[in-house]
Amino acid sequence: MDTLRGHDVANDQDDFDYADDAAIDAPLTVVSDERRMQVRAYNYWASLLGDRTLPSIEDLSPDQLEDFGPHSVLLDFSTGLDNPAIVYLGSALRQECEIDGSISYINDVPARSLLSRLTDHYLQIIANAAPIGFEAEFVNQRDAEILYRGILMPFSSDDETIDFVFGVINWKELASRDERQALELEVSAALSSIMPAPTNVPVWADGPAGGDTVDDAVDAAPLPPSVAPSAPMPVASLDEEPLDLSGMESPTDDAPLADWLALARDGADQFRTSEARSHAALYRAIGLAYDFALVAQARPDDYAELLADCGIKVQARSPMTAIIKLVFGAGYDKTRITEYATVLDHGRALGLGVGMLADHLSNYAGGLKALVRDERALRRAEAPPRPDKRETARNAMKAAAAIDPQALAMDTDGLAIVVARREADGSLALVAQLPEGSDLAQRVMLAAAR
């Protein structure tokens, strides 16, 4: 029996990427790898959004996703909701489900297989028009207990209709009940044989910050002179700022551009490696990246050389993305790269100078997330209305020249998928033909035969 626990994938209330953190609310026996794969998949989906409502299916290539592609499945709803087609099935998922031959539709999925658990949730995507994360446990076709975590993400061919769903799932197989009971008995026996610890040893009643100092403990049970401390041990407060970049000297105006990049990278590295990352540390790191961008703008030749050395290309529609990749690394999380680049664009639009962006971020109501949200809303408001793709296509077919029926390319069975137009005299004119053997032609053939 499944024990389903849905959860939100994205966290819009924080500036940090929790894909690098351990899962907090996961079952004890399911470690963070499953959640990390799920969050990486969500971040990938979000990176494909751009200015669209839904990511385009044309941008998705599951077979090229080395990270979670083998754990994924792609469903095609263009032939109907009741029995969507399976157009891609990852190798790891195929092996786990013991699927040797071809599998074309949801109805072909073996019962009690892991794939059947993932596809049970696909209708939720249609209802919510947003990614759905889930986790559960069940007994599979091999009578093994499986803990799994998955996510389903919507894709569209026209940015209006959800006609594809991309699912990613990871899993772990539990030991049998008898094996777990035997292990528990062994652990209990081992723990009972351990000698109790002596009680007359130095302790802190309430931890290092409690009332008993190290000196009090030494009075109660003196340590050897070689290790006895001469003063209470300093204890860092959890409220202290984990990073202090204020002592980092900024390069001089005539310093090489590489020095500015090194300073920005140092700030990014200190933020990422800090055990207690703070908003201030992140904002400093982004601010240093912005300072580097300002200097790079004044030294285009040096900037081009740095880009070439790192193998990074500038995108015309988002030039600040290259800056973030140089500072935080080209392999940094794509969603964060996009967000930080948006912040740099914001600073440039305001005309902020060197050393000003970090303070601006700190004082912005809602912080980085709110700034990115506001910038995206502003861009959508200023963007010209998108042309109606369907209306454009219909107009093109209305104006298209008629095709000679004798010139149509037919398949081996003498069939062709064509578009016809009703003329003023009531006759039909053939105005377009779908490419022979294309996926779209095959789907139209299947839909027509239903």
Q: What is the pLDDT of residue 155?
A: 92
Q: What is the pLDDT of residue 30?
A: 37
Tell me the pLDDT of the chain (450 aa) as tens digits.
333 333 334 444 444 443 333 332 333 333 344 457 888 888 889 888 887 888 999 889 888 888 888 889 998 887 777 788 888 888 888 888 888 777 888 888 887 788 877 666 777 777 778 888 888 777 777 777 888 888 899 998 888 888 899 999 888 877 555 655 666 666 666 655 554 544 443 433 333 334 443 333 333 333 333 333 333 323 332 233 333 444 445 676 678 888 888 888 888 887 776 544 578 888 999 999 999 999 999 999 999 999 998 899 998 888 999 999 999 988 888 888 999 999 999 999 999 999 999 999 999 998 898 999 999 888 888 877 777 778 888 888 999 999 988 888 888 888 888 999 999 998 999 999 988 777 778 888 888 887
Name all domains of the chain by residue range, CATH numbers in brackets.
Answer: 30-174 (3.30.450.20), 257-382 (no CATH), 390-449 (no CATH)
Q: Which two tokens stand for residue 395?
A: 């107009």
- Cα(1)–Cα(97) distance, integer angstroms: 18
148 CB-near residues (< 8 Å, 6+ apart): 34, 114, 117, 135, 136, 137, 138, 169, 170, 171, 172
- Cα(409)–Cα(407) distance, integer angstroms: 6
User: HSE-up of 229 (CA within 13 Å, CB side)?
Assistant: 11
Whether the CB-CB separation of 119 and 109 falls below 8 Å is answered with yes
Q: Which of 350, 351, 357 is nearest to 282 (CA)?
A: 357
By DSSP bridging, strand 162-173 and strand 145-156 are antiparallel
CA distance to 1, 112, 176, 183, 311, per residue, from 145 (Å): 10, 11, 7, 17, 46
Q: What is the pLDDT of residue 275?
A: 43
Q: What is the pLDDT of residue 225?
A: 35
CA angle in degrees (0–180, nearest 5) for 116-118-120: 70
Bridge partners, 145 (sequence order): 139
- Cα(250)–Cα(409) distance, integer angstroms: 68
Q: What is the pLDDT of residue 257?
A: 87
Q: What is the pLDDT of residue 340?
A: 93
By DSSP bridging, strand 162-173 and strand 132-139 are unpaired
Q: Which two tokens stand for residue 401?
A: 């020249």
Phi and psi torsions of 213, nearest 5°: -90, 170
